[in-house]
Structure 1
Amino acid sequence: MKPFFSTIFPATDKSDWLIQAQKESKSVQNGEDAYESLLWQTENGFVLEPYYTANDFTNSPILTSSTGVETIQTAQKHSLGWLNAPEYTITDEKSDNSILRDALARGADALVLNLPDQLDQPDNLLSRLLNGIKLSDTPVFFHLNPLKATTFLQTLKTVAPYQLKGGLLMDAGSSTAEVTRLTANSPQFRTVCASSHVFHNAGATATQELAFTLASLTDTYDHLTRDGLTIEQLVPKTVVSMSVGTSYFPEIAKLRAIRVLLARFLSAYSPSPFPSLLLHCQTSAFYDAKTTVNTNLLRATTEAMAAVIGGCDVLTVHPYDMVVRTSAELSDHEFSDRIARNVSVLLKEESYLNKVADPSAGSYYIETVTHKLVEAAWLLFLDIEKQGGLSMSLASGFIQNELERSLQAKVETVRNGKVLVGVTKFKVDEPSAGENIPANDFTGSLPARRLSEQFE
């Protein structure tokens, strides 16, 4: 007996859909190649169809390449849920301690802390800041001056003399090998970090963001293995930190792609599988707007959903007014901090996105985008390696030139009609709040940008 719905809605294949789409496109546009208008010429160097079915997977490279569907899905996170890790900039350790403890009582599972550059008395600061917060139960991730990392870790081990959870969310530096050894007895405290934020905030495409982050990790591992650490020591201590933008499905695919790329990269060291690297995601600063700042909440919610569906282990949702905060106001935004924290809570408690691992697995569209991003990013990564790695590519200006082209292409897209809600459309005039001072913005030679800057 046929299912009820199959008698009402007979099966069709993609060719039927294409015929109908071609007819309707011609009726609207009256053009021979009207279907071409439905194709998405992405900024990532490949074209996407408007619609994918099982037919597209028959004899497709996605099934026969080294990043076939099975390989893509094997590389993904298979555990449920994520850590809700709001970010705070520390200005007064005693009052900030109350804020942190309140956040943990109201839905936060972990913390991301921006520490001041000057840590003249780190023992006093940490003992007051972490009073009542046990790092063996609550993971805490720190942003700090890389030159202070060794002293900081020595002090932290004195203040919290037990196994630590969390890590350092800063790109590797000269102290990384030492702090990795210092925390060898805390396997859940990550000390090796490769982040995409500097590239993302300079205007990178998803392909560039993936390739440059992988190249950054390659340089880091090269330095650390020369310093005497083994790859088996490094992988469990590694965290990859990614910014997540507003392009919903491609951002989901980007996060799935980074896991595939990392698995392929690590297979060069050993054919045996390594433990999965921790993936921290944060909502984008690049797409935030200073005008009509409430629209940033819409962006952050979309970005947070993409991060969760893409498989993040730790999620930081930035407050919607972060872009207009000044250094004097950083601890005076209780409402926006609470809303940011609750975005993650709602995705768990009301959307139940913590009930399934890799929910996009099997989606013809997302699997295809993931595959295309992996292949495009891998080719760019190999090109960077031929130039001597990320450091040499930065020194030659290659990375900067690539990012500048990408940024200008994004700006031109907006000039040509792409809507930035609250900036180019639905804008509400608001009093100026002044320019914010981003905390711990370790951008090196790459500028931190926002897409809406030229339109505000």
Structure 2
Amino acid sequence: MDTYSPQSFAPATFSDWQKQVRRELKDERADEGLRWLTPDGFTMEPYYTADALTTLPLTAIQGAQRTQPGWLNAPERVVKDGGEASTGLRQLLDSGADSLVLSLPDAVDPVSVSRIISGIKLSETPVFFRTGKPDELVKMLLNVAPYQWRGGLLSDPIAAYVYTGKAADTLQTTYAEATRLSGGSPRFRTICASSHVFHNAGATASQELAFLLGNLSDQYDALTDAGLSITELLDRTILSVSVGTGYFLEIAKLRALRVLWFRLAGCYDLKSVPAPYIHAQTSTFYDAKATPNTNLLRSTTEAMAAVIGGADVLTVHPFDAVLTTPSAFSERIARNVSVLLKAESYLDKVADPSAGSYYIETLTNELTESAWTLFLELEKQGGLLAGLSSGWVGEQIERSWQAKVDAVRQGRVLVGVTKFRFDEPSAGQDAVVPAAQTGLLPDRRLAAEFE
């Protein structure tokens, strides 16, 4: 039997591949038709070799990635009644969840908070809260859980302003106060910058990253003016992003976000910068009400991209979340997606699975530079809040949204919507009613244009 080794094969360069393609297809320009233009405006090659890595800042890219594998499986639950929630939340933790994301009503009181976290020790189980009154929530937690907490606030005041149109005047008051009050719990993060409002309006990956950086920069400006140090803010920040269906693009997006975090933090001339802490959630922008079971395919792909890209916390939305109030079955399936990626795919055993991939490393660098260029342009507009007020941000995203819609009209497949579509189920009396569009950016679903 012959023995083969890597030395048995002659090395092949990109030029060798290019010549072979032209020879096989009998066309001196055959390879040009295999390239494609991304929505972010840069051209990707159909084939990459190790030579592609020689021109990349690999030390910066790979040095920004996670060094420890694993992530928190954090299902989201909208809390309406504290007593009923407590039992259900403990069941989630007994059934595969490592953490929780809780959306609380603004009118929540100390008694309700005590009931909600009954049986959950925040020093051991990270809990992330969405609330419009972060300072009041922290005061309640100090009374009912007088020890160090893990988790944090997934409330983004600038995103709330974008969504509702109400002025974001709480940064220097409520969020600064929440950060000070929770100072005894350094692992409880109180500063959240998110990309969801941009993602759901139709932004490209570069726009999501750039506008998230603008969000973060504006928040840091306000909070340092309120007397907080930049070191304290970096330690207490959580970045929250939506992950869409573009598998490799989304892996690169999260990896690029880590590079951009260090680049932005480097502008503050600090001796050391903590690693970013990223919460990722599966996208609702790409979900369909027609044939909703196909959303299972989307959420699984999105979840896998999120953890390969380096998410620290992962929220998988139930496949019927855009159709109705999720059922116990759909919540269990969503929770088990994360469990499957750990227990059967072993993705929690490797810190940065895509490191060294010629294509993904190139895509990471392209997104990083594209987003940074757009962020600097945004800063020239006066920052994110100024860009939103002038309409500049909205104009950028509107063009991207129209490009996505046009792509579907020209043949791009939306599984279960424009192809492989079956009878639509009735939404029933429990159907989700879309919120009125009153904010600065619309909250959209791509499939809605074709359902």
Q: TM-score, normalised by structure 1?
A: 0.92
Aligned length: 434
**Is 2:440 the counterpart of 1:445?**
yes
Partner letter of residue 53 of structure 1?
T
Whole-Å Cα distance in 2 between the matches of residues 442 and 257 of structure 1?
31
SS of equivalent to 2:322: helix
**Is 2:137 the counterpart of 1:152?**
yes
- 5 Å-filtered alignment, 1:257-276, equals 257-276=256-275
Q: State the shift of 1:192 in Å.
A: 0.3
Whole-Å Cα distance in 2 between the matches of residues 348 and 57 of structure 1?
30
| 1:53 equivalent among 39, 44, 49 | 49
- 5 Å-filtered alignment, 1:30-49, equals 33-49=29-45
Whole-Å Cα distance in 2 between the matches of residues 268 and 154 of structure 1?
33
Whole-Å Cα distance in 1 between the matches of residues 409 and 100 of structure 2?
38
C-alpha spacing 1:425/1:304, structure 2 compared with 1 (3 Å): same
Q: Tell me what 1:249 maps to.
A: 248
Partner letter of residue 294 of structure 1?
N
**Is 2:163 the counterpart of 1:164?**
no
C-alpha spacing 1:442/1:345, structure 2 compared with 1 (3 Å): farther
**Is 2:115 the counterpart of 1:128?**
yes
C-alpha spacing 1:316/1:438, structure 2 compared with 1 (3 Å): farther
Partner letter of residue 131 of structure 2?
L
Q: Tell me what 2:63 maps to.
A: 74
Q: State the shift of 1:447 in Å.
A: 1.1
Q: Tell me what 2:162 maps to.
A: none
Q: Tell me what 1:207 maps to.
A: 206
Contact 2:437-2:443 at 8 Å conserved across structures: no
Q: State the shift of 1:6 in Å.
A: 4.1
SS of equivalent to 2:411: coil
SS of equivalent to 2:292: coil
Structure 2: which 5+ runs fail to align? 158-169
C-alpha spacing 1:32/1:246, structure 2 compared with 1 (3 Å): same
Contact 1:198-1:443 at 8 Å conserved across structures: no
| 1:357 equivalent among 338, 351, 354 | 351
Which deviations, in whole Å up to 9, do the C-alpha atoms of 1:257-281 show, x marking residues without a partner?
Answer: 0111110110111242211121000
Which deviations, in whole Å up to 9, do the C-alpha atoms of 1:83-117 show, x marking residues without a partner?
Answer: 00000111222222221111100110000011123
Partner letter of residue 368 of structure 1?
T
Whole-Å Cα distance in 2 between the matches of residues 416 and 217 of structure 1?
36
Contact 1:423-1:455 at 8 Å conserved across structures: yes
Q: State the shift of 1:443 in Å.
A: 8.5
Q: State the shift of 1:442 in Å.
A: 11
- 5 Å-filtered alignment, 1:40-439, equals 40-58=36-54, 60=55, 62=56, 68-119=57-108, 122-145=109-132, 148-172=133-157, 173-174=170-171, 175-325=174-324, 329=325, 333-433=327-427, 435-437=431-433
SS of equivalent to 1:163: coil
Whole-Å Cα distance in 2 between the matches of residues 17 and 199 of structure 1?
39
Partner letter of residue 368 of structure 2?
V
Q: State the shift of 1:431 in Å.
A: 2.5
Q: State the shift of 1:8 in Å.
A: 6.5
Contact 2:53-2:361 at 8 Å conserved across structures: no
Q: Tell me what 1:65 maps to.
A: none
Whole-Å Cα distance in 1 between the matches of residues 329 and 443 of structure 2?
26
Contact 1:241-1:280 at 8 Å conserved across structures: yes
Partner letter of residue 316 of structure 1?
T
Q: TM-score, normalised by structure 2?
A: 0.93
Contact 1:39-1:47 at 8 Å conserved across structures: yes
Partner letter of residue 308 of structure 2?
I
